[in-house]
Structure 1
Amino acid sequence: MIYHGNRFTLRADASPEQVEEALESLRNQGRVIPSVKSFVVGRDFGGEYEWGAVFVIEDLEGYWQYLIHPAHRNTDRVGLPVVDRFMSYDITDDADPEMGAKITALHQKRYDSDPELTQLVSGLGEYSGSAAPEKH
């Protein structure tokens, strides 16, 4: 299993409507993407971020299906413009020592095939973690 997590802080100028649209889009990902086995979206406590989401996915094939699903792309479109700081992480019980590199490669493949997504990500104040695009 792979637990894909996001932690984020929103821009100070994000309206309550924009915030709710972004959070609802994250919840919708969990409801409609077939490879998501369970999920949680909510406040992030005990750190430097305001919000978080975790999606449980069975394997790399399901992870890729999650990444390219239209519901995920919608969250990018409505959510990234209101995010200031973003951090992604993945936790897995898979014993493959290359799992981290494989997850990073999936994200990079997505960026390489979607210039609009890459542009949205470039507008973030800070972006780190397993889903962050490679710096060239």
Structure 2
Amino acid sequence: MIVQFMRFAFREDSTEEQKTRALALIRRTAAVESVAFSTVGRLLGDPAEGYTHGYSFGLADLGAFERYMYDPVHLAGDPEILPHYAKLHVGLAVSDDPDPELAAKITAVYQGKLAEYPEWERLMAAIPEVRFG
């Protein structure tokens, strides 16, 4: 199992309607077949860090992770979600998979998506503050 956690904050100029739509799209992405479980909602962390919402999800294995990243539902949602992020922290993943190369393989999936979808790379680069790990 691979469990990932993301924290984010919306841009100040995003309307409540846009935020609601983005959260609905994240929940739709969280419901694709490759996701074993998920939670999307208000972040209960330290407000001083500037993050307001979070998304955690579990995937059975690296194959499920790759299907998730390239799922048409995921690909369709990102252009409507990512422009509303002021801050995004894709946190460390947790896994019970003993493969010592798993982190590198996950990174390779991200890099492969960036290479295959230049628009996704542009959307990610437009977020004022992005952090991995």
Q: Normalized against structure 1, the TM-score is what?
A: 0.90
SS of the aligned residue for 2:127 comes to coil
SS of the aligned residue for 2:57 comes to strand
Indicate whether 1:27 and 2:27 are aligned.
yes
5+ residue gaps, structure 2, are none
- C-alpha displacement at 1:91, in angstroms? 1.3
Distance 1:38 1:96 in 2: 22
- C-alpha displacement at 1:98, in angstroms? 1.4
Aligned to 1:134: none
Distance 1:30 1:84 in 2: 21
- Aligned pairs for 1:1-136 (under 5 A) are 1-31=1-31, 33-47=32-46, 48=49, 49-89=51-91, 90-130=93-133
Distance 2:25 2:63 in 1: 22
Structure 1 runs, 4 residues or longer, greater than 4 Å off: none
- C-alpha displacement at 1:20, in angstroms? 0.7
- C-alpha displacement at 1:74, in angstroms? 2.5
- C-alpha displacement at 1:75, in angstroms? 2.5
SS of the aligned residue for 1:85 comes to strand
- C-alpha displacement at 1:95, in angstroms? 1.4
Aligned to 1:133: none
- C-alpha displacement at 1:93, in angstroms? 1.3
Q: Normalized against structure 2, the TM-score is what?
A: 0.92
5+ residue gaps, structure 1, are 131-136
Single out whichever of 68-77 and 16-25 deviates more from structure 2: 68-77
- Cα deviation 1:65-94 (Å, max 9, x = unaligned): 000112111231111100011011211111
